[in-house]
Amino acid sequence: KDWKIGFQLCNQNKSDCFYQTYSSGVDAVREWYRFHYINILSRRRQDTSPSLEEDVLGKFIFTCRFNQDSCNEANYSHFHHPMYGNCYTFNDKNSSNLWISSVPGVNNGLSLTLRTEQNDFIPLLSTVTGARVMVHERDEPAFMDDAGFNLRPGVKTSISMSKEAVDRLGGDYGDCTKNGSEVPVGNLYNTTYTQQVCIHSCFQESMIKECGCAYIFYPRPEGVEFCDYKKHNSWGYCYYKLQDAFSSDRLGCFTKCRKPCSVTIYKLSASYSQWPSVTSQDWVFQMLSRQNNYTIKNKRDGVAKLNIFFKELNYKSNSESPSVTMVTLLSNLG
């Protein structure tokens, strides 16, 4: 039998209601919990209590090395993601100590040992265990929902990277933008223009205009409050309606937000192996516990290993050039 489960949402005066439905009960419960969780985060972000973002790196990252040297606080910045929790960006534009790779290979990149125990996980919010990782340019925000990959507990994941630069022709030759200045969407991220930055900024602009509040996943302009059903009791009704319009491009965000003319792409190749091995796990867990003053209770399910490195230091460059310039065309006509 075909059935669906969901929850009802109404406008402010309850003159119009609809059911947000899902074919999976698991998806429906997670989305309902996520909706209420967003309201809690919105209130926390707007009050004067201590920040949710205050955390210690050592609670999540047991070991960190780059080019065989230990990491320190100058190498990373912290941000709080509404769904993934505490996140850390290594080597971003604000880092006082810039990392540079001068030699390729697994021993000359970033190596992390991560805590992946589920004690701190919210069961109705996340049904997976492990960690999420994304590789991006230093001056670009990390869109964890749109890109990235998951790390599996008890496994060493080795990611080899290759860099590719793409330069497109704009103007009369193609529909791209050099810096987004001519795109009719304001950049809310205070970063370099990317298509994803523009798309998320576009949705936030529509959210503020139509719903009267800002969606907590994206930056908000000064003076605008995040959506909270104690202050905006019909924001959920407005949001899900707007999300449907966004997905079908009735908002026009995918049309307005052009690709950047110049972009850097990191192509990733992954390999996996069990970590630590059966013969070494006892002493590895003992050393990690002593070093971090923390007892790893679930052992293999409690840790994950990650290596990220350049496969080679050369990179591929793709650039467009006009086959016929305007001058050549006019001269041929003459």
Tokens coding 176: 């791209």
* Ramachandran bin of 212, using left for φ above 0, alpha for ψ from -120 to 50, beta for the remaining angles: left
Q: In which band, very low, low, confident or very high, does the pLDDT at 183 lie, cut at 50, 70 and 90?
A: very high
**Alpha-helical runs (H) found in the chain:** 25-46, 195-211, 235-247, 253-256, 281-292, 326-333
Mean pLDDT for all residues in the chain? 85
Q: What is the pTM of this model?
A: 0.85
pLDDT tops 60 at residue 96: yes
Q: Domain residue spans in the chain? A: 5-50+179-256, 57-169+261-319
Q: Which residue has the higher pLDDT, 328 or 216?
A: 216
For residues 149 and 136, the answer to whether their CB atoms sit within 8 Å is no
Q: Which residue has the higher pLDDT, 325 or 92?
A: 92
Give 5-50+179-256's CATH code, choosing from 1.10.3720.10, 3.90.180.10, 3.40.50.20, 1.10.287.820.
Answer: 1.10.287.820
Task: Compute φ and ψ for 36, nearest 5 degrees.
Answer: -75, -35
Picking from 318, 269, 273, the residue whose alpha carbon sits closest to that of residue 161 is: 269
The class of domain 57-169+261-319 in CATH terms is mainly beta
Tokens coding 159: 């990611």
Please write the tens of the pLDDT for every residue from 262-318.
Answer: 999 999 999 999 988 888 888 888 888 777 676 666 577 788 999 999 998 888 888
Beta bridge partners of 306: 112, 157
Please write the tens of the pLDDT for every residue from 4-60.
Answer: 888 898 988 889 998 899 988 888 888 888 888 888 888 776 554 444 444 556 678
Residue 332: burial class (beta carbons within 10 Å; 0-12, 13-18, 19+):
exposed
